[in-house]
Chain A
Amino acid sequence: MYRALAVLRFVVLVNAIALGWYRRESLDHPGVAAAVFAGMTVWTAVATWAYAAPQRRRPLLLVTDLVVALAAIAVSPYVKGDDLRATLPGFWVMGAVLAWAIHWRWKGGLVAATVVSVADLAVRPGITQTNYGNIFLLMLGGPVVGFLSGLLQEMARDRDRAERAAAAAAERARLARVVHDGVLQVLALVQRRGAELGGEAAELGRLAGEQEVALRALVQTQESPWSGAPPGERDLGALMTGLQVRSTPRVEVAVPGSPVQVDGAVAEEVVALVRACLHNVSDHVGSDARAWVLLEDLGDEVTVSVRDDGPGIADGRLDQAAAEGRLGVSESIRGRVAGLGGTATLTSAPGQGTEWEFTIPKKGRP
C-alpha cells in the first residue's frame, strides 16, 4: 500500500513542480517558490523512505507529513500573490491524506481530508466551482481509500492466517506419516519374525499384528483432514476403513480412493449394519474367520458387500440356518436396509462363503 503511495507521491510532485515552472511568470516570489518545491522534493524522498518500514510509521511521522502539506499550502498566497487560483503543492497534498487513510482507515482519511480542505479554503480569496469539486473529491476520497485499505489489510491478514493454518496442518500430517510409517514398519516386522520364531514370540507377533492393523486404519482415516465434506455428510470410505481395527473376524476393507460422501445418519446406519454382519460372522463361522468388506460409489447410491470365508449355506439348508438363529439376524438386517430405502441380497454357496450385498441411496429414504 505504502509503496503504491510512494509512486503516487512522486507523480504528483512532478506534476506540482511542472505546473509551478509553467506559471513561473505569475509568481511574486520565484525564489521562495523554488525553496518550497525543493522542500517538497526532500520531504517526498524522506516520506518514501520513512513509510517503507512498518516500525517507522508512527503518529509523529503522519502528523509531520500533514503539517508539511499544510505549510506548503500556507505559504502559497505569499509566493503567488493575491490572484491565487491554485496552491503551490496542488494535488501533492493528497500524499499526506492518503497516508492517514491507509494508517488510520476511514477516520484518518476523513480527518486529514478535512484539515487539508479547511487550510486550502482559508488561503483562497474566493471559491470557484473547480475548488469546490476538488475539495469534494478529497473529502470523499480520503475516507473511501481508508475504508478500502482497512478491508484489504483484513483480507491479507485472513489469508495469511489461513495459509499458516494449512501449512501447519500439512506439516503435522507429513510428520504423522513419517512417525506412523516407522512404527508400522517395526510392528509388521515383529509380527513377521514372531510368527517365524514360534512359541512366545508368536504371541508377541500376533499382538504386534493387531496393533499394526489398528494403527494403519487410524492413519488411513486421518489422511485427508481437508476433505471439504459438506455439512451433514460423512466420508463412508473413511468410516469403513476404520472397521479393520476388529481382530475377530479379521477384516479387509476395500474402498475407492476418493471420499464417498454420504448423508451423516445414513453413513452411521450403514456402518452399524456392516458391524452387525461382521458380528454375525464371528458368531457363526468362528473367531478365526476372515471377512471382506467392499464399498463402491455408484453416484447416487453406494453398494456395500460383506463376505466371509465360512462354509457357506447350501440351498436346502436354509431351514437349519433359521433354526440356528441366522435367519433371524438376516431378517433384521433386511429390515434395516429397507428402512434406508435400499435393497439387500444374501448369496451363499457351499465353499464360497456367505455374502451380503446392500445397495443404499446416499441421501437415505426419499
Chain B
Amino acid sequence: MTDTPPDRIRVMVVDDHPMWRDGVARDLEEAGLRVVATAGTGTEALTRFPAARPDVVVLDLQIPEPNGVEVTASMVRDNPAVRVLILSASGEQQDVLDAVKAGATGYLVKSASRAELLDALLRVAEGDTVFTPGLAGLVLGEYRRLSDAPPAPDRPDTPRLTDRETEVLRLVAKGMSYKQIAERLFLSHRTVQNHVQNTLRKLQLHNRVQLVRYAIEQGLDDEIEG
C-alpha cells in the first residue's frame, strides 16, 4: 500500500513527556524511518520545523504553549504538504476535532500498539486519512451541528456531506475497516478512502474560509497586506 520507502520519510516527534518522545522516536527509527527532529513544547516545535522539513509530524495535543491545535494550524500554513498525525493520551474530544479542522489528517490514541502507530504513520505519509471510530463520530456530529445551524443566505458555503459520504463515515464510526466498508457497499478500497478524505477536506476548507472571513470582518486583512 505504501509507495515511499520508509527511510525516505522524514518524521518530527513533538511530545512534552521525554519518555514518550524518546520511545516513539526509537520505535520509528527501528522501523527504518528518519526522525529528523524532536521537540517538547509548541514553541520548540515551530522553531525547529522550518529547518527540519519533516514530511510527517507526530504531535501530542497537550504540550506547553502554543498548544497542539495552534501548532497544527501554523505548520500546515507554513507548508501545506506536511502531514500531521495526532497522538493523544486523553482523547480530548474537542481538541482533537479542532486539530483536525486545523489540518491534521490522522488521529491515534497513545495506547495504540507500535504496529498500529507505524501503520498509521505510513498511511498518513501517503496522504491517506487515519480515522478512529471516535474521530469519525466527532466529524459526523460536527457536520450535523453545521447543518442544524439556521441557514444564512450570505453563508452558502456551509459544508455538507453527500449521502454516500455520510454512509461511509457512519461505518467508520462503527469500527469497520475500509476493507469491510468497501465489501459492504460494493466500492473499491480507494473510493472508500476518497470519501473519508473528502469529509475532512471539506471541513478543513470551511475552517480556513471561516478564519479568512473572520480576519476580513475584524479588519486584520489590512494589516496582513500592509
A contact set with B: CB distance below 8 Å: 177, 180-182, 184-189, 191-193, 195-196, 209, 212-213, 216, 219-220, 223, 252-258, 290-292, 294-299, 305, 307, 309, 349, 351-352, 355
**Pick from A177, A192, A297: contact of B141, CB under 8 Å:** A297
Shortest Cβ-Cβ A-B pairs, 7 listed = A256-B141, A254-B137, A292-B175, A188-B110, A184-B89, A254-B173, A188-B111
Q: Which residue of B is nearest A260, CB measured?
A: B141
A355 with B90: CB separation less than 8 A:
no
Chain A positions within 8 Å of B138 at CB level: 254-257
Residue-wise interface mask of B (150-185) relative to A, using a CB-CB cutoff of 8 A (1 in contact, 0 not): 000000000000000000001001111000100110
What are 24 A-B pairs at a CB distance below 8 A? A177-B90, A184-B90, A185-B17, A185-B89, A188-B111, A189-B19, A191-B111, A192-B23, A216-B91, A216-B109, A220-B93, A223-B93, A253-B134, A254-B174, A256-B137, A256-B142, A294-B170, A294-B173, A295-B137, A296-B140, A307-B175, A307-B176, A349-B184, A355-B174
B contact set with A: CB distance below 8 Å: 17, 19-20, 23, 62, 89-94, 97, 109-111, 113-114, 132-138, 140-142, 144-145, 148, 170, 173-176, 180, 183-184
Interface centre among A187, A196, A256, A297 (most CB of B within 10 A): A256
Give chain B nearest CB distance to A313 CB in angstroms. Answer: 15
A254 with B134: CB separation less than 8 A:
yes
Chain A positions within 8 Å of B133 at CB level: 252, 254, 292, 294
**Pick from A220, A297, A305, A309: contact of B91, CB under 8 Å:** A220
Q: Which residue of A is nearest B98, CB measured?
A: A257
B93 with A305: CB separation less than 8 A:
no
B62 with A177: CB separation less than 8 A:
yes
Given A181-B62, A355-B174, the answer on whether A254 and B90 have CB atoms closer than 8 Å is no
Interface centre among B110, B114, B136, B145 (most CB of A within 10 A): B110
A196 with B114: CB separation less than 8 A:
yes
